[in-house]
């Protein structure tokens, strides 16, 4: 619909929307069936990644005892990541503080860079207004939670060492151990996955007649719940940024279309207010994304107890 | 009524109706949060944080409907 309206050469509103909400390929790279071309979305994602990297890198280069502006800003971010954001993870989850902090700062930087008005030559684009970008981040969090859930399952029967009788020559003993090693790792992995999936079922102690259908229902419900989490994470971020951005762009398009001053005054004020609100929403959504990631990781580490 | 009209109607109605529930929810949430701040002003920071988290979560429900509307209008 968008493209056919633009083809008619109709209103400026559609022009403005096309201006900022479509990805335009800059360098065309097509590998096989995949479209890997470098578009403006990719360039803006790289730009925000570089900005995030530079903030922390420059701040850590010359650390002084009386920190300047950038260093205290970076320090407050790191303290936020270690304290407030990741409150309940505790000991086992310390490795994931910085993953969550990076998610937070990256989403925040991407949204803020996307809010700055840029001329058409720079082909502006808000990457988080694209469901693929937010889905990619949500999939990273989802895979992390599943990996941690499997890794932290406690097996009741530990892996026993291979006991061979003592009159076997050491060469044979070592060969047997080396050959069997990958299979034992595989079996432990399968048992851990089984244990993790078993935590999605009913607690033990239910008679078999009831347990089988109830187990099936429980498992399905839990699986849908688990699969819904990355969907909700990505859709939340995507919808919030896209909605705010659309409102701002439509207002700008209205100003451009009717060039009169009595359209410009209220619509201009509205655009300013909405941009301010969008900054607030960007911060809030980045915080919520990171906080929910923390909660899911914590739920996976301390599995069920 | 052909498919195009039905799609536009569905998109408009969908987002309109979907704004009711979370609107009530966030209003209730903010009201209770201000009440809690009035009762104990020193906990204002924690209450504000909890309120913002709740608002972000309930806002997501409207956005699911918004995404479906966008899909209806622009993708199919």
- B64 vs A235, A288, A291: nearest CB: A235
> Does residue A128 contact residue A241 with C-beta atoms inside 8 Å?
yes
Residue A305 has pLDDT above 50, yes or no: no
Residue B24 lies in a domain: yes
Which among B30, B63, B68, B72 is the top mutation candidate for probing chain A, defined by the most A β-carbons within 10 Å of its own β-carbon?
B63
Residue B14 lies in a domain: yes
pLDDT mean over A192-197 = 80
A71-89 burial code (b ≥16 CB/10 A, e <16): beebeebbebbeeebbeeb
Residue B19 lies in a domain: yes
Residue B76 lies in a domain: no
The residue count for chain B: 76
pLDDT digits (tens, 9 = 90+) for A130-140: 888 999 999 99
ipTM over 0.85: no
Number of independent structural domains in chain B: 1
Closest CA relative to residue A243, chosen from A232, A255, A235:
A235
Nearest CA in chain A to B71: A1
The C-alpha atoms of residue A53 and residue A304 are separated, in whole angstroms, by: 36
Residue B75 lies in a domain: no
Residue pairs spanning A and B at CB distance below 8 A: 38
The residue extents of the domains of chain A are 9-153+223-301
Residue B39 lies in a domain: yes
Strand (E) or helix (H) holding B61:
helix B44-74
| A143 lies within 8 A of chain B by CB | no
pLDDT at A143: 92
pLDDT digits (tens, 9 = 90+) for A244-283: 888 888 888 888 777 777 888 888 888 899 999 989 888 8
pLDDT band with cut points at 50, 70 and 90 for residue A303: low
Q: Which residues contact A296 (CB under 8 A, 6 or more apart)?
A: A141, A142, A145, A229
pLDDT mean over B42-54 = 88
Which among A243, A249, A289, A290 is the top mutation candidate for probing chain B, defined by the most B β-carbons within 10 Å of its own β-carbon?
A243
> Does residue B57 contact residue A237 with C-beta atoms inside 8 Å?
no
| B8 lies within 8 A of chain A by CB | no
pTM over 0.80: yes
pLDDT digits (tens, 9 = 90+) for A9-34: 556 677 777 777 777 777 777 776 67
Domain limits for position B45? 3-70
Closest CA relative to residue A111, chosen from A247, A290, A284, A303:
A284
Q: How far apart are the first and last CA of chain A?
A: 51
pLDDT band with cut points at 50, 70 and 90 for residue A176: confident
């Amino acid at each position: 619909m968008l493209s056919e309206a633009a083809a008619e050469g109709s209103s400026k509103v559609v022009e403005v929307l096309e201006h900022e909400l479509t990805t335009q390929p800059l360098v065309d790279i097509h590998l096989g069936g995949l479209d890997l071309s470098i578009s403006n979305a990719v360039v803006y994602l790289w730009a925000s990644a570089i900005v995030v990297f530079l903030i922390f890198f420059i701040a850590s280069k010359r650390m002084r005892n009386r920190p300047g502006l950038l260093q205290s800003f970076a320090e407050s971010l790191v303290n936020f990541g270690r304290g407030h954001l990741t409150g309940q993870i505790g000991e086992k989850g310390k490795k994931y503080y910085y993953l969550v902090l990076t998610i937070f700062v990256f989403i925040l930087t991407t949204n803020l860079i996307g809010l700055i008005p840029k001329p058409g030559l720079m082909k502006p684009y808000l990457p988080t207004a694209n469901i693929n970008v937010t889905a990619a981040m949500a999939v990273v969090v989802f895979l992390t939670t599943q990996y941690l859930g499997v890794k932290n399952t406690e097996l009741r029967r530990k892996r026993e060492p291979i006991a061979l009788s003592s009159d076997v020559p050491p060469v044979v003993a070592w060969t047997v151990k080396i050959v069997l090693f990958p299979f034992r790792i595989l079996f432990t992995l399968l048992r851990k996955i089984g244990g993790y999936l078993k935590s999605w079922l009913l607690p033990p102690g239910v008679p078999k007649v009831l347990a089988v259908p109830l187990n099936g229902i429980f498992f399905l419900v839990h699986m849908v719940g688990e699969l819904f989490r990355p969907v909700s994470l990505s859709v939340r971020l995507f919808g919030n940024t896209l909605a705010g951005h659309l409102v701002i762009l439509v207002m700008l398009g209205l100003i451009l279309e009717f060039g009169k001053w009595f359209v410009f005054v209220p619509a201009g004020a509205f655009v300013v207010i909405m941009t301010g609100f969008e900054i607030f929403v960007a911060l809030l959504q980045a915080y919520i994304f990171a906080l929910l990631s923390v909660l899911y990781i914590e739920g996976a580490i301390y599995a069920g107890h | 009524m052909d498919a195009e009209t039905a799609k536009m109607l569905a998109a408009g109605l969908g987002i309109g109706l979907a704004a009711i529930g979370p609107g009530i929810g966030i209003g209730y949430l903010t009201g209770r949060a201000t009440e809690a701040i009035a009762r104990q002003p020193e906990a204002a920071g924690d209450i504000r944080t909890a309120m913002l988290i709740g608002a972000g979560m309930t806002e997501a429900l409207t956005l699911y409907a918004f995404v479906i509307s966008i899909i209806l209008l622009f993708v199919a």
